[in-house]
Amino acid sequence: MSKGTERLDRIQVPELEEILGQAFPVLDDGFVRLIDYMGNDDSIVQAARVSYGKGTKSVSDDRGLLRYLMRHRHTTPFEMCEVKLHVRVPMDLWRQWIRHRTANVNEYSTRYSLAIDRFRTTQPDQWRLQSEINRQGSEGGMDTDVGQRLTERETEAQSFLQEIYDERIELGVAREQARKDLPLSTYTEAYWKIDLHNLLHFLNLRMDHKAQLEIREYAETIGEKIVQKWVPLAWEAFMDYRHGSVNLSSDEVEVLALINSGQMEEADKLLLETGFTVPDGDSVKPTLEGRELAGKMDRMGVEVPWGKG
């Protein structure tokens, strides 16, 4: 072959080659399976150096460059890596998952194939209470005696709906119509291909403590079992600068500066002016934004100053 047309060998990551096709179990009957991948940490570094040229020469090593890219949100080099996964996930979680529209997806079709006869089940000690603060979240657990009754009713409902579906199929009803009353707990499967930049965005949202517990288990499995082995340097930078970081608005920075300098009365005034707190009788109470700020302050070991000015 002439110069410039040599065959480029596919980049292989030994740690990933060992787990290709291996199903990592999630929930009671779900899984995540690595099907294929492209690129590694070197691919990100290579793309960045081509793109930024002289601008990256001051960064002496690959780890430093990767951390620089993550720190300053230079995202394009991370798009040079892609991964394809085979997932089995309950339909209610898949609705959340598929909202991330930056992936290529091919889902198991119950128009052509029989529905997967597996449902996500809930153990008596796994039922959660509705959060009074976060309308789309949960907080605390149900009493196990109540949970036992809920689990029994769940089993009855799932068995009944599966029986109805099976009856329709046996009578010759079209699969596209027979499926319509299947519950959201029914498992579905899909091939999901996504680049690393968008995958890290997905993981940052779905690994967050405010994400639904069940989809968080999928995200943690993908991150810890696959991504960490695939691009360890990028994963380290992601955990430091994205997932494990604290982002502060300009108002939050100003509040913290006042607290740090001992100007508690001014800090209280600014919190009210910016809407982090609202009057509550003779005191104040935090808004949603204020509670989020309190969480950040707690992580940094800063005392929350509500009403202490």
- The pLDDT tens digits of the residues spanning 272-295 come to 999 999 998 888 899 989 999 999
**pLDDT score at 56:** 53
Phi, psi of 85, rounded to the nearest 5 degrees? -120, 150
Strand order in the sheet with 30-38: 23-26, 30-38, 82-90, 187-195, 104-107
CA atoms within 13 A on the CB side of 119: 17
Answer whether 129's CB lies under 8 Å from 140's CB: yes
Q: What is the distance between the alpha carbons of residues 179 and 198, in angstroms, rounded to a whole number?
A: 32
pLDDT averaged over every residue in the chain = 91
Phi, psi of 96, rounded to the nearest 5 degrees? -70, -45
3-state secondary structure at position 285: strand
Answer whether 279's CB lies under 8 Å from 269's CB: no
**pLDDT score at 54:** 56
Answer whether 267's CB lies under 8 Å from 307's CB: no
**pLDDT score at 304:** 82
Where do the DSSP E strands lie in the chain?
23-26, 30-38, 82-90, 104-107, 128-130, 138-141, 187-195, 277-280, 283-286
Task: Kindly tell me the burial class for residue 96, based on how many C-beta atoms sit within 10 Å of its own C-beta (0-12, 13-18, 19 or more).
Answer: middle
Instruction: State yes or no: is 73 an active-site residue.
Output: no
Q: What is the distance between the alpha carbons of residues 199 and 40, in angstroms, rounded to a whole number?
A: 14
Distances, alpha carbon 214 to alpha carbons 101, 150, 191, 208, in Å: 20, 18, 19, 12
Residue whose pair of structure tokens reads 């990256």 in the numeric block: 56
Catalytic residue (one of 101, 206, 291, 299)? 206
Condensed to tens digits (0 to 9), the pLDDT of residues 92-130 reads 999 999 999 999 999 999 999 999 999 999 999 999 999
Report the predicted TM-score, pTM, of the whole model to 2 decimal places: 0.89
**pLDDT score at 133:** 76
Tokens of 263: 């100007």
